[in-house]
Amino acid sequence: MSSKKFNLHQEMVQLDGRSTPAAAFLKSSARYLDQNQGYRPIMLSDDSKPFGAGYSHADILRASGPKSKNTGLLETGTSAKLERKPTYTDLDDDWDASLDGDVMSLGIKPVTSSSSAQSVTSYNSTSPPLITSSQASSIAQSEPVHSPHADLYTFSRRSSPGVGSLKPQYDRIVKDPANSLHMIYQPDVSSIIDASPAEVELLNARIARINKFKRVLQSSNVDISALRNLAWSGIPDELRPMSWQLLLGYLPSNTDRRVSTLARKRKEYSDGVRQAFGLSMSGVGNMSANSGIDQAVWHQISIDVPRTNPHLKLYSYESTQRALERILYVWAIRHPASGYVQGINDLVTPFFQVFLSAYVDADVESYDPGRLPKDVLDVVEADTFWCLTKLLDGIQDNYIFAQPGIQRQVAALKDLTQRIDAALARHLQQENVEFIQFSFRWMNCLLMREVSVKNTIRMWDTYMAEGSTGFSEFHLYVCAAFLVKWSAQIQTMDFQEIMMFLQSLPTQDWGEKDIELLLSEAYMWQSLFKNATAHLRPGGPS
């Protein structure tokens, strides 16, 4: 075996179906050991930031200007400097738990395997492969051995996937998402021979986190309560499609029912599309020419879909837009009490993006779904439809006539703000700012026009973990925390400045840490005020 040492900034690893420089992966979730508080996340120097999603008043497109090929990453040959700073409040002890209880750090030796496409050097252990710096250093000199757990704990260095490539054995994932649990690629351990202890630790932390989810998801009868507890602090990208489907109740928790249930639900959606449009799910044509469709509903959908997430390439492709049109139209005609309402087009996109990621080795936000085989695109579309339906079932009074659900939430947000930040509430009243003027959109679109799709996806991990009230009750507290966050700035503004500020908030550079801080604050307010109805009534006790 070659003793070549690998450069962390040149080696590519597979993460969430895409090829990523190893250094970037290692920096993305580093943690350090604090003697008093245990393992805590490390803040890292990284200029690569997600941009806020939004249009209408909040249109903020990706900044232009010269960018290096490795924007946001350390250049080759530089050292990774880990900056230790305080981070958000951790409300779930998963990240702080001792790793020793999860896995045993045994010797890891390489296994050399080959396929018709390429030879792959893999590393397996008889337990989840936590490693030490010294073990990583000795791996290159080890002799090949075989492990009985190669399918579960394999570290593979794969070549960068071509644009539009499908994940291995994607057809098995189509049949049952649980098959993806055996196809999670981790970095080649040989790529961290020169890594610092902190970098080794972050990899171990990620492995431990994934294994916690896998222990729950691989059960013959998934414990949804345990899955919620894990999901509150965020779901690993590779496990999110299956986890979301379970948390929403679309995917049966019992393994024996999954294949038949998915096949039945997907066929039901396919039949609904054919009935509505008289064409196949992936058929493309002038649907508006079909005299059988509701022209008013179709007209509004056909206007809104091209405006959806215009800053992301994924949503500019015809294949994406046609899929979203079908999903929204079929949902509207199946729910005549509400029909299609502007804003629902935003809510469909996190599902489409997450479920698409289950099948492709590419950057999902720039991927053209038209490259997918028809049966795979049909599955992504059907699963998106049913999970959107599950979400909207819990907040449907937000979209019926007069939208009473949103009206109640706006009133509750005003009362809650008076309790949390009386000075802010007083200033808004003095400037004649009505909560309905800025927070209606927050409730209607679940803050999707205020933060990026990636950040929305992270928020929804927690919303789904909250259960049936996550998108209604818990969202109210998130909106309260979101408003109070800007209190100091708002109190220096007049009416016009306030309205302009709240319509285009400075969230362009928000990352996962900012979202988790927001969720933590929302949890605090919920703990203080939930079920304390007097606090949510005007004139209640001080």
Query: Is the residue at 174 inside a domain?
Result: yes
Is residue 414 a contact partner of residue 536, using CB atoms and an 8 Å limit? no
Question: Do residues 495 and 368 both lie within one domain?
Answer: no
* Domain termination site, one of 180, 202, 222: 222
By residue count, the chain amounts to 542
Question: Do residues 176 and 28 both lie within one domain?
Answer: yes
As for how many domains the chain has, the answer is 3
Question: Do residues 296 and 421 both lie within one domain?
Answer: no
Is residue 14 a contact partner of residue 83, using CB atoms and an 8 Å limit? no
Question: Do residues 173 and 93 both lie within one domain?
Answer: yes
State the DSSP H helix or E strand holding residue 31, giving kind and residue range, or none if neither: strand 31-34
Query: Is the residue at 87 inside a domain?
Result: yes
Question: Do residues 183 and 111 both lie within one domain?
Answer: yes
For 347-392, the pLDDT digits (tens) are 999 999 999 999 998 899 999 999 999 999 999 999 999 999 999 9
User: What pairs with residue 82 in β-bridges?
Assistant: 44
Q: Is the pLDDT of residue 517 over 90?
A: yes
Mean pLDDT of the region 333-352: 95
User: What pairs with residue 186 in β-bridges?
Assistant: 155
Query: Is the residue at 243 inside a domain?
Result: no
Query: Is the residue at 63 inside a domain?
Result: no
Alpha helices in 10-85 (DSSP H): 22-28
Query: Is the residue at 53 inside a domain?
Result: no
Question: Do residues 276 and 333 both lie within one domain?
Answer: yes
Question: Do residues 120 and 191 both lie within one domain?
Answer: yes
* Domain termination site, one of 177, 198, 222: 222
Structure tokens at 150: 């190669």
Query: Is the residue at 233 inside a domain?
Result: no
* Domain termination site, one of 341, 369, 394: 394
Question: Do residues 260 and 299 both lie within one domain?
Answer: yes
For 430-449, the pLDDT digits (tens) are 999 999 999 999 999 999 99
Question: Do residues 419 and 333 both lie within one domain?
Answer: no
As a whole number of angstroms, the distance between CA 342 and CA 202 comes to 42
Question: Do residues 162 and 187 both lie within one domain?
Answer: yes
Gyration radius from the chain CA atoms: 24
Is residue 85 a contact partner of residue 100, using CB atoms and an 8 Å limit? no
Predicted TM-score (pTM) of the model is: 0.70
CATH of the domain at 485: 1.10.472.80
Is residue 305 a contact partner of residue 321, using CB atoms and an 8 Å limit? yes
As to burial, measured by CB atoms within 10 angstroms (0-12 exposed, 13-18 middle, 19+ buried), residue 420 is: buried
Question: Do residues 337 and 198 both lie within one domain?
Answer: no
Q: At residue 282, what are phi and psi to the nearest 5 degrees?
A: -95, 5
As a whole number of angstroms, the distance between CA 214 and CA 258 comes to 17
- The greatest distance separating any two alpha carbons of the chain, rounded to the nearest whole angstrom, comes to 75
pLDDT attached to residue 123: 31
Query: Is the residue at 248 inside a domain?
Result: no
Query: Is the residue at 146 inside a domain?
Result: yes
Q: Is the pLDDT of residue 326 over 80?
A: yes
CA 294 to the chain's CA centroid: 33
Percent of the chain with pLDDT over 90: 57
Which domain range does residue 23 map to? 1-45+81-222
Query: Which of 69-73, 205-209, 398-402, 535-539 is least confident?
Result: 69-73
Structure tokens at 454: 């990636």
CA 5 to the chain's CA centroid: 34
Question: Do residues 167 and 27 both lie within one domain?
Answer: yes
